Amino acid sequence: MTDLCKENIKDKDGFETMYLNMGPQHPSTHGVLRLGLVLDGEMIVKAEADLGYLHRGMEKLAEKRTYQANIALSDRYDYVCSMNNNFAVALAIEKLMGVEAPKRAQYIRIIMAELNRVVNHMLFFGFFAMDIGATTALMFGFREREQVIELFESVSGARLTYNYFRVGGVARDLPSDFVQKTKAFIKLMRERLKDYDILVTDNVIFRDRTEGVGVFTKEDCLNYSMTGPMIRACGIKYDIRKDDTYSLYNEFDFEVPVLKNGDCFDRYQQRMLELRESLKIVEQALEKLEPGDIQAKVPKVIKPPAGEAYVRTESPKGELSVYLVSDGSANPYRFHLRAPSFINLQILQKALVGFKVADVIAILGSIDIVLGEVDR
């Protein structure tokens, strides 16, 4: 076990500080994150994170697997949004091979990616409120998630690790009642979002716990390479779907919501706004769906020509990118994942200083990490 915060820090009056170890088993560290905190009374003087408890050597494993098997492996990075991981890896392989999925497959992909964004933000909603002490929200979040998971189950057969994307397309076509069921879900979800606002967003205790807590400035965001809802909540309007568009996202009409305070509440609110935009995208994609192929012609054994590609996608947590190097063989030569959770988490060591122990939970919760992606 790594020693954290070893040096003896004294407070301004010369008194000893207290060292508090938080994790790796702790209900609100969202997995197996370990934090070493140096406390002066209840205030945090220094914080250090210790990672790696869930390290599975994914990048090394990727080098031993075929390209298609890497899509299956990608389900396990951020296990909350497997579809988005599939998307990034499939796009990277296609970029190396120079193939493009047929239109219908691309719309299906976008529907899946955006529905998975809804799942992610629903879980965030539940767990973030839970971290702060509101237990009902978790039940609400899981109830809505269940509906999307059932949709995913009907297309892919799995409830968590979907492995639905293929190089050049998707595994199978949508079941006949998918469109109708999804439309019904969107209608229901819009109704229920109003309940969430009443239950959590406008809740006085929730607001007191989150407003003005853990404020990140624009400079912090740039300096710490943060992406996704984290920077948009600080007032930087940057969304890869719009600004460095991929797949067919440029055909869709959606807003990139931006907030300005950059505190925990804005990061919560940001995700709730993005969720509404995702529903809009799904709705449009369902309208655009036309019968057609779902798979481009690709060889049985995928051997992209030698080369490298850095492919960016907007996952619910931020920029999920894949740096892929091929040497012309059936396995990747190098596979690197730019995991948004890993990079967004770095600011924690700076952001915690000056806040109370109870705020640690709020700030950590608002960053929205999945340890499977942090440790890989």
Partner 1 sequence: MDAQEYLTKIKAKFPDVTDVPVEKLKDGIPALSCPAASLFEVVKYLKEEGLNFLLNLCGTDYKEYFEVIYHFTSLENKVKLALKVKLPREKPAVASITPLHAGADWQEREAFDLLGIDFPGHPNLKRILLPEDWEGHPLRKDYERKPDQYD
Chain residues that interact with partner 1, rule: CB under 8 A = 2, 51-52, 55, 57, 59-60, 95-96, 98, 222-226, 236, 238, 243-244, 306-312, 319, 321, 323, 325, 333-334, 336, 338, 342-343, 345-347, 350, 375-376
Q: How far is the CB of 11 from partner 1 (least distance, A)?
A: 23
Nearest residue (CB) to partner 1, 15 versus 310? 310
Sequential DSSP letters for 91-106: HHHHHHHT----HHHH
Gap between the Cα atoms of 192 and 272, Å rounded: 12
Residue 362 sits at φ, ψ, to 5 deg, of: -65, -45
Q: How far is the CB of 233 from partner 1 (least distance, A)?
A: 15
CB 241 within 8 A of CB 249: yes
Nearest to 123 by CA among 160, 94, 75: 160
CB 220 within 8 A of CB 336: no
Sequential DSSP letters for 6-72: -S--B-TTSPBPEEEEE-SSBTTTTBS-EEEEEEETTEEEEEEEE--TT---HHHHHHTS-HHHHHH
Nearest residue (CB) to partner 1, 3 versus 290? 3
Residue 289 sits at φ, ψ, to 5 deg, of: -60, 130
Nearest residue (CB) to partner 1, 8 versus 135? 8
Q: How far is the CB of 205 from partner 1 (least distance, A)?
A: 33
Q: How far is the CB of 302 from partner 1 (least distance, A)?
A: 14
Nearest residue (CB) to partner 1, 144 versus 319? 319
Report whether the peptide linkage leading into residue 229 is cis, meaning its omega lies within 30 degrees of zero: no
What does the DSSP 8-state code read for residue 261?
S
Q: How far is the CB of 287 from partner 1 (least distance, A)?
A: 29
Q: How far is the CB of 16 from partner 1 (least distance, A)?
A: 23
Nearest residue (CB) to partner 1, 230 versus 275? 230
* Structure-token match 């992909």, residue found: 109
Nearest residue (CB) to partner 1, 111 versus 309? 309
